[in-house]
């Protein structure tokens, strides 16, 4: 069977927005008849999930952000897999993967930009990143805001970009009353208590400290409020100390890593984002799909998905008081909370399905392969899928 071979390269396999997008994209590509191999440099819990789902994965050891070891290992992997398409995600994979793919003669090279990372503003990383863009055939931005950010800070030319927004599995993330009761029972949270949650890696961009400060303000005015911090990461110990300092325990609980995010989402009343910067957070789409009410910072691609007062409440970043006030407004207004949740569900259903994201990516792959004179490969695969 002459399947089209795609090598997906990503910096690591810890659970996060970019990593979950990779998982969903790879699953969709496999279902559409593509052969998918995944290379990564930092181990994480997603590796076991990918293996369980039948993907071939390869660990690519590295020493630093930019290093010859990772470049050499990437070269070896490309020569072994012999992909028709190399698709890279995140800085280290973009930087090394683009160069390695071109040196080994890979026909099509694509990258996806997932976030407005601070490194892009710094010299020489931003300039180096922009320089390696010349080795790509197309760069996918998950939001128009992200596209504009990189044009300004890394100098990637306009003609390199295409915007393909992230998508979500609407069925998997539908609200479940059974799941809500199960999760609340696990954390000893009564149904009558309002539950605020933040979901994501415990890393600087998510600014969990602002969430904790906001939680302290909320607790003063609503002593029965409960809070979940869902996820793990390098800042966990520091954030746990901060929660104790703010006297948030036992109202607030750290759940650590969870592989049941749809169930966790159903348990929440209000999903909170305190991020200082974002691309287009997959967790936002998942929350909307579960008809959860959202309070988020007005950053990155978030305001392109939800409008303030229509599908969510948006506040400035690094502003605990504004974040708390928005949460308290929703705590005291059940009708507003429910209407925002329903409007969010309508929004994500109409524009952000996972099948649409995958179909648009496949369409891009096919266009680029055709430009490289590989249309016969496409027609052969399509005939075999029909058979």
Per-residue model confidence as pLDDT tens digits over 76-96: 999 999 999 999 999 999 999
**Separation of CA 232 from chain center:** 15
pLDDT at position 127: 86
Q: What average pLDDT does the segment 238-255 reach?
A: 98
Can you tell me the mean pLDDT for 144-148? 91
Structural domains in the chain, CATH included, are: 5-167+353-386 (3.40.50.2000), 177-351 (3.40.50.2000)
Sign of CA dihedral 139, 168, 309, 198: negative
Give first-to-last CA distance, the chain, whole Å.
11
Q: Which of 337, 335, 231, 336 is nearest to 281 (CA)?
A: 231
Q: What is the pTM of this model?
A: 0.87
- Give the model's confidence band at 387: pLDDT under 50 very low, under 70 low, under 90 confident, else very high: very low
pLDDT at 181 over 80: yes
Cα-based distances in Å from 231 to 37, 254, 331? 27, 8, 24
Position 2 confidence tier, pLDDT thresholds 50, 70, 90: low
Are 270 and 290 in contact by the 8 Å Cβ rule? The answer is: no
Of the listed ranges 60-64, 310-314, 337-341, 361-365, the one predicted with least confidence = 60-64
59's CB contacts (< 8 A; 6+ apart) are 39, 40, 41, 43
Q: pLDDT digit string (tens) for 122-145?
A: 888 888 888 999 999 999 999 999
Distance CA 93, CA 147 (A): 19
Distances (CA, A) of 242 to 187, 249, 268, 362: 21, 10, 22, 45
Tell me, what DSSP letter sits at residue 231? B
Read off the pLDDT band of 386 (50, 70, 90). Answer: very low
Give the residue, 69 or 117, on which the prediction is more confident: 69
With beta carbons less than 8 A apart as the criterion, state whether 135 and 109 touch.
yes
pLDDT value of residue 381 = 67
pLDDT tens for residues 266-317? 999 999 999 999 989 999 999 999 999 999 999 999 999 999 999 999 999 9
The proportion of the chain whose per-residue pLDDT surpasses 70, expressed as a percent, equals 97
- Mean per-residue pLDDT, 236-254: 98
| Mean pLDDT, rounded, for 51-73 | 92
């Amino acid at each position: 069977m002459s399947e089209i071979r795609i090598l997906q390269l990503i910096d690591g396999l810890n659970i996060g927005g970019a990593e979950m997008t990779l998982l969903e994209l790879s699953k969709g590509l496999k279902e559409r008849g593509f052969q998918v191999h995944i290379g990564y440099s930092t181990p994480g819990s997603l590796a076991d999930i990918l293996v369980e789902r039948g993907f071939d994965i390869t660990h690519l050891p590295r020493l630093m952000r930019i290093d010859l070891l990772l470049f050499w290992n990437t070269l070896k992997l490309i020569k072994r897999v012999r992909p028709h398409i190399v698709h890279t995600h995140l800085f280290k994979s973009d930087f090394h993967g683009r160069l390695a793919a071109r040196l080994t003669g890979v026909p099509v090279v694509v990258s996806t930009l997932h976030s407005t990372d601070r490194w892009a503003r710094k010299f020489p990383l931003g300039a180096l990143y922009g320089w390696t863009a010349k080795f790509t055939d197309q760069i996918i931005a998950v939001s128009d805001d992200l596209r504009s950010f990189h044009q300004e800070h890394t100098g990637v030319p306009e003609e390199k970009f295409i915007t393909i927004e992230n998508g979500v599995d609407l069925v998997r993330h539908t609200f479940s009353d059974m799941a809500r009761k199960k999760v609340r029972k696990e954390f000893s949270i009564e149904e009558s208590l309002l539950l605020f949650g933040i979901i994501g890696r415990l890393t600087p961009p998510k600014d969990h400290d602002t969430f904790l400060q906001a939680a302290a303000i909320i607790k003063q005015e609503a002593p029965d409020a409960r809070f979940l911090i869902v996820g793990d990461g390098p800042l966990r110990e520091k954030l746990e100390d901060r929660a104790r300092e703010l006297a948030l325990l036992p109202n607030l609980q750290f759940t650590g890593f969870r592989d049941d995010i749809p169930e966790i989402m159903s348990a929440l009343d209000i999903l909170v984002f305190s991020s200082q910067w974002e691309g287009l957070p997959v967790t936002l789409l998942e929350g909307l799909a579960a008809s959860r009410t959202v309070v988020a910072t007005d950053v990155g691609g978030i305001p392109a998905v939800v409008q303030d007062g229509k599908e969510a409440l948006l506040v400035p970043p690094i502003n605990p008081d504004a974040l708390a006030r928005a949460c308290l407004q929703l705590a005291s207004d059940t009708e507003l909370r429910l209407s925002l949740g329903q409007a969010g569900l309508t929004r994500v259903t109409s524009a952000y399905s996972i099948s649409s994201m995958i179909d648009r990516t496949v369409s891009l792959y096919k266009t680029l392969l055709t430009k490289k004179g590989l249309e016969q490969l496409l027609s052969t695969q399509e005939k075999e899928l029909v058979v």
